[in-house]
Amino acid sequence: MHFCIPVSQQRPDALGGRYVLYSVYLDGFLFCRVRYSQLHRWNEQLRRVFGNCLPPFPPKYYLAMTTSMADARRDQLEQYLQNVTVDPKMLRSDVFVDFLKLVQLMVSHEIGLCRELLGYFGLFLIQFCKEGKFSVVKKLADFELPYVSLRSSEEANCKVGLRKWYMDPSLDSMLMDCRAAVDLIYMQAIQDIEKGWTKPTPAQRQKLEALQKEDSQTQFLELSRDVQHYGYVQLDPCTCDYLEPGCGAIVSVGNDEISCCITLPDNQTQDVIFQMNRVKSWQITFLGTLLDMDGPQRTLNQNLELRVQYSKDSRSQWFVIYTKQAFLLSSCLKKMISEKMVKLVAENPEMQIEVPEQAKSKKYHIQQSQKDCSSFLPRKSKIKVEKVDCVFGTIKEEDL
């Protein structure tokens, strides 16, 4: 995951002075807007728990800050947030995930889902579009408060949804003994077919419709696993530089591959598949620019690119995808690598394999050296006057 503070705004306070409100982005999307004083109190609370394990926090200034001092503080706060999330033990501590565990227990009790299967599902921010289509905007991190993330999202018509969170379709078998889990993946399978993410042949569709009418969920899921792109995550239409720069693409990821339906300049389409065992590395670059430079500043232009390095004919090549869902795609790639390593360990317990942590960039030795990293381009310093309040100010007690 990647935190950044690409923009800040000056706001008047109750005493006639001014303070700076920082817009914190997580994985390319607005996470929250906070003051320095709020982050300072948060750091003090964390320090009482973790002690000197925390990175240094930017110091207070008791005199008015110059522009260069304000820029330095913003960079320091950004670096602080990035460093806090480097240690996976800290992110897995009860301080960060206690609320998630409580919500998981309540939800599992409400729907009858076995606690042992909670890890197979995740919360996602989902945007509902015209004509019944939807888009998975991002997967919520374990420490995120779903209500706050939903309210702070700059994407319209969003809801928080529960979806399965594994990329290997064969893992369905782990859920078959739990009625609630089967209900969840069955409803998602139907939804993915209706939305065109899963692509059955006419014969398969006919059989699936018959099984759906009979409410034969187990048989429906067994047949679905043979359908093209079953269990895949499909991104919104985007562009890529393969086979030519600027080509349109529909990217689906799952079952140890990246599947791309590429539209060429002559409107012909070509299906291209990148197997994960040929992927050597990938990196995300933030290309966002500030909107309304001469007016009120509120959002960023969400331009992200994900560059995939893969081997072809004993040579390394790069394939670039331009999509605001770059971090979601990266999470899916990491998930596939993690699942593959777990499977290899199960098949050969003597193997020494390190499962990748979400908060670290590592090299994984599975046939090819695979890694992921995030690099963000330098951005221009901009402080704007803004009248939009911090999202936390809109939450009432009954909303929590």
Bridge partners, residue 208, by sequence: none
215: DSSP letter: T
Give burial (CB, 10 Å; 0-12/13-18/19+) of 295. exposed
Angle at 396 between CA 392 and CA 398, to 5 degrees: 135
Q: Domain spans of the chain?
A: 3-92+384-399, 96-224, 233-376
Q: What is the CA radius of gyration of the chain?
A: 23
- For the cut 50, the answer to whether the pLDDT of residue 348 exceeds it is yes
pLDDT at 361 over 60: no
CB atoms within 10 A of CB 249: 20
| Measured CA distances, 287 to 6, 135, 380 (Å) | 11, 21, 12
Residue 395 reports pLDDT greater than 80: no
Average pLDDT over residues 146-151: 86
Instruction: Give tens-digit pLDDT for 52-78.
Output: 888 999 998 877 788 888 889 999 999
**In what helix (H) or strand (E) does residue 400 lie, and over which residues does it extend?**
none
- Residues of the chain with pLDDT > 70, as a percent, come to 84
Q: Are 122 and 163 in contact (CB under 8 A)?
A: yes
Distance from C-alpha of 84 to C-alpha of 82, rounded to nearest angstrom: 6
- Split at pLDDT 50, 70, 90, the class of 208 is very high
Residues 6+ apart with CB under 8 A from 347: none
Strand partners, 128: 134
The fold of the 3-92+384-399 domain, in CATH, is PX Domain (3.30.1520)
Q: How far is CA 91 from the centre of its chain?
A: 16
CB atoms within 10 A of CB 106: 10
Assess whether pLDDT exceeds 90 at residue 133.
no
215: left (phi over 0), alpha (psi -120 to 50) or beta: left
Determine the pLDDT at residue 145. Answer: 85
pLDDT on residue 289: 55
Q: How do residues 183-192 score in pLDDT, each as one tens digit?
A: 999 999 999 9
In 13-85, where do the E strands start and end?
A: 18-26, 29-35
What pLDDT, on the 0 to 100 scale, is given for residue 377? 41
Q: Which residues pair with 312 in a beta bridge?
A: 315
Q: Which residue has the higher pLDDT, 13 or 203?
A: 203
Here the tokens at position 287 are 């290309």
d(CA 296, CA 146): 28
State the CATH class of domain 96-224. Answer: alpha beta
Tokens for 63, please give them: 């005199």
Q: Is the pLDDT of residue 7 over 80?
A: yes
Q: Which pLDDT belongs to residue 89?
A: 78
Q: How would residue 12 be classed by pLDDT, with cut points 50, 70 and 90?
A: confident
For 262-288, what is the mean pLDDT?
Answer: 91
Q: What CATH number should be reported for the domain whose range is 233-376?
A: 2.30.29.30
Instruction: Work out the pLDDT band at 302, boundaries 50, 70, 90.
Output: low
**3-class DSSP state of 42:** helix
Residue 332 burial by CB count (10 A; 0-12/13-18/19+): exposed, middle or buried? buried
Contacting residues for 1 by C-beta, under 8 A, at least 6 apart: 26, 27, 85, 141, 327, 358, 359
CB 394 within 8 A of CB 147: no
pLDDT at 286: 81
pLDDT at 120 over 60: yes
